[in-house]
Amino acid sequence: MKILPAILIITLFISCTQEPGKRIRTEDHRSVSKETSAVTESAPQTIDEIKKEFTVLNDKLLARKLDSSGFKYNCEEIEGEVYLYYENKKLKMVKHFFADSHFSSLTKYFVKSDQVFFIFKDDTLWQFDGGTPEKPITKDSINQQRIYLKDENPIQCLEKNYTIRSVGKNADPEKIPNREVKCDVKELMTRYHHLLKNKDQKSVECL
């Protein structure tokens, strides 16, 4: 009869000594989960992280997995379109395109945690380049910029320039190397925040 109380006491002692350890491990696990979640949701900080985030987001855009809304504008012969892309109601990308008779510009702002982490800009100027009035030859002069940002400040800026003619052999743009340059994104970021202010509009006169 004395054995049973002794077993109960030992079992209770083991249970009490193990329980705090279980609580600590559970709390540690929760803490790690929160930290992992915070890292996942934060904007990329390095060029490698930006490239990985860009690839994931661009794949979703190409697969049309993001929701979108947008508006158009027409101002002094310049026509423009703005589209905003969302995932689970979180802004992921803003695309701005405008053009006049001889010039067009496309800018894409890639976003995570409400911060722009990458900007792609493509400007095209076209003009006549010989030929005849019946069969004119045209030339597109293209300037591309790829801007990597941390805290919405540039950490690397790449630029590529090339020409495409309507007649003759043209170089493959994918094989033309980028060159690193200095850049200022103040004007681009000012335009970005101005676009966001008009995101709920269906159309505006000028931007």
Distance CA 198, CA 84 (A): 11
Q: Which residue has the tokens 């980028």?
A: 178
pLDDT reported for residue 139:
93
pLDDT reported for residue 207:
74
pLDDT reported for residue 35:
39
pLDDT reported for residue 205:
76
pLDDT reported for residue 40:
54
pLDDT reported for residue 189:
97
pLDDT reported for residue 121:
98
Residue ranges of the chain with per-residue pLDDT less than 70: 1-40
pLDDT digits (tens, 9 = 90+) for 22-59: 443 444 444 444 433 334 578 999 999 999 999 999 99
pLDDT reported for residue 13:
41
pLDDT digits (tens, 9 = 90+) for 105-117: 999 999 999 999 9
